[in-house]
Amino acid sequence: MQNQNHFAEINFEDHDQLSAEERAVISSSLQQFQKGESSEGRHLYAFAKEFSDPEYLECIKLFIREEQQHAAVLASFMKKFQIPLIKGHWVDHVFRWLRKTGGIQNTLNILLIAEIIAKVYYRALHHATESVLLKRICLQILSDEEEHIRFQCDMLKIFHSRQSRLTNLINRNFQLFLMTGTALIVWCYHRRVLKQGGYYFGKYFLESLLIFFEAEKDIKSRKSFFKKRKMIAT
C-alpha cells in the first residue's frame, strides 16, 4: 500500500461507452460492490489501535483510504453513466455486522473473505465489460486487492502462531464455512456479471476456494510479506 491515489490517471471526462445491455447486466451488481467498498473503517481503526505498533496503524489508515478510493472511482464511473448509488443492501449490512462482532482477528478474517471474493469478481467484471474506463478501474482494484490479501494474511499469521492447534482448527473450519456461504450468496446476486465475464458457477466457486486455500497456506507459513513486525496486544 502506498500513500497515493492509484486512480489519479483515470480521467472520467474521456470518451467511453456502456451499451444498454451491459448497463442492464452490471448496474445492480456494481451498486452493491460500490456500497461494499465504502466504509469509514472506524471499527477497524479502533481495533488496530489495540496494538502498540504505529507502523501497523499507518498501514491500516492507508488500507482504509484505498478501499475508500475504490468506492469513489466506482461512484464516479456510475455517475458518468447515470447509475444511481444505493444506500444499503442486506448483504452489506450482514458483512458490516460480522466485521464488528468479536475482536480484530474476526474482523480480519471477514475482511479476508471480502478481498478474496473481490479478486474473483473484478476479474470477471474486467472480462465482462466493454468499457475502457471500467476495465482500467478493475485492473487497479485487482492490484490493490492482491496486496490487501497479503496484508490481512500477514496479520492473521501472528494470531495463528499464538493459538493452539485446536483453536486454529476450529477457526479454520468456521472460516471455510463463512467463505463457502459468502461465495454462494455472492453468486446469487452477481451471477449475471460473473457469467458474462466467463465465470460459470464451477469456475467461480473453485477459483474463490483456491484463493482461500492459498491465503490459508500463507497464514500457516508464518513468513511475513511486510517488514518484520512485532505485534504486542496491549
Q: Which of residues 63 and 159 has its CB atom nearest to Fe ion in the complex?
A: 63
Q: Which of residues 42 and 162 has its CB atom nearest to Fe ion in the complex?
A: 42
> Which spans of this chain sit near Fe ion (rule: CB under 5 A)?
37, 67, 70, 115, 145, 148
CA distance 224 to 151: 9
Rg, the chain, Cα only = 18
Q: How far is the CB of 144 from Fe ion (least distance, A)?
A: 6
Q: Which of 212, 152, 156 has the alpha carbon at shortest distance from 181? A: 212
Q: Which of residues 19 and 143 has its CB atom nearest to Fe ion in the complex?
A: 143
Q: How far is the CB of 8 from Fe ion (least distance, A)?
A: 17
Q: How far is the CB of 73 from Fe ion (least distance, A)?
A: 10
Q: Which of residues 83 and 141 has its CB atom nearest to Fe ion in the complex?
A: 141
Q: How far is the CB of 111 from Fe ion (least distance, A)?
A: 7
Q: Which of residues 37 and 92 has its CB atom nearest to Fe ion in the complex?
A: 37
Q: How far is the CB of 196 from Fe ion (least distance, A)?
A: 21
In the chain, which residue ranges form alpha helices assigned H by DSSP?
A: 20-37, 42-48, 54-80, 90-100, 104-128, 132-162, 165-196, 201-221
CA distance 121 to 86: 19
Q: How far is the CB of 202 from Fe ion (least distance, A)?
A: 25
Q: Which of residues 7 and 170 has its CB atom nearest to Fe ion in the complex?
A: 7
Contact by Cβ (8 Å): 77, 132: no
| DSSP-derived secondary structure letter, 233 | B
Task: Give whole-number Cα distances, 98 to 17, 47, 83, 127, 183, in Å.
Answer: 37, 14, 28, 31, 15
* Residue in the shown chain whose Cβ atom is closest to Fe ion: 148
Q: How far is the CB of 145 from Fe ion (least distance, A)?
A: 5
Place of cell 446476486: 189
First to last CA, the chain: 25
Q: Which of residues 67 and 92 has its CB atom nearest to Fe ion in the complex?
A: 67
In 81-164, which residue ranges form alpha helices assigned H by DSSP?
A: 90-100, 104-128, 132-162
